[in-house]
A = this chain, B = another copy of it.
Amino acid sequence: MRRPPVPTRETATIEIVAEQAGVSAKTVSRVINNERGVRTETRERVLAAIEKLDYQPNLAARGLAGARSFLIGLFYDNPGDYLSEFQTGAVQRCRESNLHLMVEPLVAADPDLARAVSTLIRQLRLEGVILLPPLSDLPEVRATLAEAGIPAVHIAPMHRQDDAPSVDTDDRAAARQLTDELIERGHRRIGFMLGRAGHRATEQRYLGFADAMHAHGLAIDPKLVQTGNFEFAEGLECARRILSSPERPTAIFASNDDMGAAAVCVARQMDIALPQQLSIVGFDDAPVATMIWPQLSTVRQPVRSMGRVAADLIIQHKPHRRGWPQPMPRPHLDLEVILRGSIAAAPVGAT
């Protein structure tokens, strides 16, 4: 007599389904878990019973009996605008395998981070964890997860570990491609706004830029390479430094759209005609890219797909046969260069 008062419509249990199908509970269990060794005819009978009774297996019971949790964690720190897209992709993939996603905000700077992580994984018995940057680069997080033997997927980690799968995009190639577009339009002096130090994206995007410049035999003026931190406010400073250079560049490559937007603002304040006198490109295809004028040329990240793939890696992860000697999956997803109004031919007479 657990819930006596409320005459809730009887929730079907596995026993009831078994009875309906004329088999034992264990056989129903086999069908639910898609185990082999069930005759097709039997399976269909069970499936019919499940359908008829609208049966939903009890997650808690399954978890308790099977020492599983059916839960995957998504740990993040800065809720950026990409998070919701990413998690939506991850949830979609999880659903296909009847798993669920637990999102957990964490604070990268928290001195007690390791304990927080430990508590989470032990309490929830997570079957895997997806780490968004900058969490994907914190040794204490990685160590805690590894110690607990929980598979973790690192998203765009700065330092790849040989023992952990990760999901990356080829930022370097895309940055190079975008830079090529500028060079093709006659730009020779190009400024670069760096992202936050320690992020993989910061490094890769710059390298791609440098690749293109070198390939065309163009010099990179150190004074035109300024450090930002991916944020708009910093971007303003950064753009000012670049644009107040005695020999002003004819184009600026910003490491993300927020900083690109900042460059647009600064240029406008300095009465520099856009895009005629200055071309600007960003990265990410953030919402702001199309909300300013001129719209930013940029690189679209397949964020939702990354979420899907990350979840998929966890799900595919087969329990290690002594030390996962399998090749580490490191899918690279394709980026898309998007050209918009913010780039134009270099002004005539420019070096």
Q: How far is the CA of A85 from the CA of B60 in the complex (A)?
A: 29
Please give me the 5 A-B residue pairs with the lowest Cβ-Cβ distance, nearest first.
A79-B84, A60-B63, A83-B84, A60-B64, A261-B291
Q: Does A38 contact B (CB under 8 A)?
A: no
Could you tell me how many residues of chain A have their Cβ less than 8 Å away from some Cβ of chain B?
53
Q: What's the Cα separation between A125 and B58 when bound, in Å?
A: 8
B6 touches A149 (CB 8 A): yes
Q: How many copies does the complex hold?
A: 2
A79-B88, A92-B105 given as contacts; is B60 within 8 A of A125 (CB)?
yes
A-B contacts besides A60-B61, A61-B64, A258-B291, 6 pairs, CB < 8 Å: A58-B125, A59-B123, A91-B105, A103-B103, A261-B292, A264-B293
Q: Which residue of B lies closest to A68 (CB)?
A: B60
Residue of B nearest to A124 (CB): B59
A39 at the interface (CB under 8 A from B): no
Q: How far is the CA of A60 from the CA of B126 in the complex (A)?
A: 12
Asked whether B56 lies within 8 Å of A123 as measured between CB atoms, the reply is yes
Chain A, 75-94, CB within 8 A of any chain B CB: 76, 79-81, 83-85, 87-88, 91-92
Cα distance, A6 to B320, chains bound together (Å): 11
Considering only CB atoms, which chain B residue lies closest to A3 in the complex? B67
Residues of B within 8 A of A287 (CB): 81, 232, 258, 287-288
Residues of chain B contacted by A265 (CB below 8 angstroms): 291-293
Task: Indicate whether A122 reaches chain B with its CB closer than 8 angstroms.
Answer: yes
* Chain A residues packing against B (C-beta within 8 Å): 2-3, 6, 8, 11, 56-61, 63-64, 67, 69, 76, 79-81, 83-85, 87-88, 91-92, 100-105, 119, 122-125, 149, 232-233, 258, 261-262, 264-265, 268-269, 287-288, 290-293
- Can you list 27 pairs linking A and B with CB atoms under 8 Å apart? A8-B149, A56-B119, A57-B123, A58-B64, A58-B125, A59-B60, A59-B63, A60-B61, A60-B64, A60-B125, A76-B84, A81-B84, A81-B287, A83-B83, A83-B84, A87-B105, A258-B287, A258-B291, A261-B292, A262-B291, A265-B292, A265-B293, A268-B293, A269-B293, A287-B287, A288-B288, A291-B291
Give the nearest-CB partner of A61 in chain B: B64
| Other-chain residue from B61, B84, B149, B291 in contact with A232 (beta carbon distance below 8 A) | B291
